[in-house]
Amino acid sequence: MKKQWKKIVLFTAALPLLFWGCNKETESKFDVNSDAYIIRKKFDGELKAATVFFVYANQSISRAAVTPPAGQGEPFNLSRSEESSFTFQKVPSVADFETETPAPGLYIFDIESSDGVVVQQTDELEIFNLQVPVITSTNFEPANMSLTVKWDTVANADGYVVKVLSKGEKALFTSFTVSPKTSELSINSASGHWSTPVYSGDKVKLNVQAFVFDSGATLVDNIYNIGEIAVAEKEITWGQ
């Protein structure tokens, strides 16, 4: 699978991405990209999985609905993201995670713009059985106020993203993508983006995400075609 190493921001399960820049060719056309993928996490040592749904557009969205494959539930609506009306999503709650991996299949997305333009797309949910990374160590460096985190690499991962989350699961820091051969990162302004500052003594959650793209993803669209994300978490006190 081809890989594209750019300074992009991936979502954990809930950070919208920039879809299209406005220009003369796209301003009047409603461009949409839909994605369904699996997220894996451990809860009290038990591996569980759930499905994430995203729709990204270059214009404001008024409605987005998803129809699951036959026999896998009723159609449901996605919700507008807090950050932008250009992104609709369904991010799983803790209760949505199950020990059984979601079944693969073709999901149908029906999206309507605020101007009444309707688009239908499909996305195939694939199973990759991506393993959850293991965080092996963390080391705070007071001199430059950065935290170095190390982890065991995951077989078949296309890369990693490291996050610092608040108690309320809000992303405070999101790294740029990290090569699949890399197993450590120093968390600072050079390696990612701080949306909210963290101070010494703050209780935060460290989040290391391994990801793999869909099997049919290309260099042009792979950031909108995630296959699976596997998340390792560790609660830490910043500055220690």
d(CA 223, CA 213): 8
Shared domain for 76 and 111, answered yes or no, is yes
Strands 79-80 and 134-141: unpaired
Supply the pLDDT for residue 27. 55
On whether both 151 and 117 belong to a single domain, the answer is no
Cα radius of gyration rounded to whole Å, the chain: 18
Check residue 223 and give its pLDDT: 81
Looking at the chain, the whole-number percentage of residues with pLDDT higher than 70 is: 89
Domain boundary among 102, 125, 148: 125
Looking at every residue in the chain, the average pLDDT score rounds to 89
For residue 11, being part of any structural domain is answered with no
Whether 116 and 139 map to the same domain: the answer is: no
Predicted local distance difference test score (pLDDT) of residue 1: 36
* 121 and 146 housed in the same domain: no
Contact 159, 179 (CB under 8 A): yes
Q: Which pTM was predicted? A: 0.86
Same domain, 172 and 121: no
The answer to whether residue 148 sits within a structural domain is yes
* CATH number, domain with residue 90: 2.60.40
Domain that holds residue 86: 32-125
pLDDT category at 24 given cuts 50, 70, 90 is very low
Handedness of CA 40, 125, 165, 194 (dihedral sign): positive
Domain boundary among 125, 152, 168: 125
pLDDT of residue 217: 83
Residues 196 and 118 occupy one common structural domain: no
Q: How many domains does the chain have?
A: 2
Tell me which of 8-12, 37-41, 155-159, 227-231 is least confident: 8-12
44: in domain: yes
Rounded Cα gap, residues 164 and 15, in angstroms? 13
Instruction: Write out pLDDT tens, residues 80-109.
Output: 998 899 999 999 999 999 999 999 999 999
Residues 162 and 180 placed together within one structural domain of the fold: yes
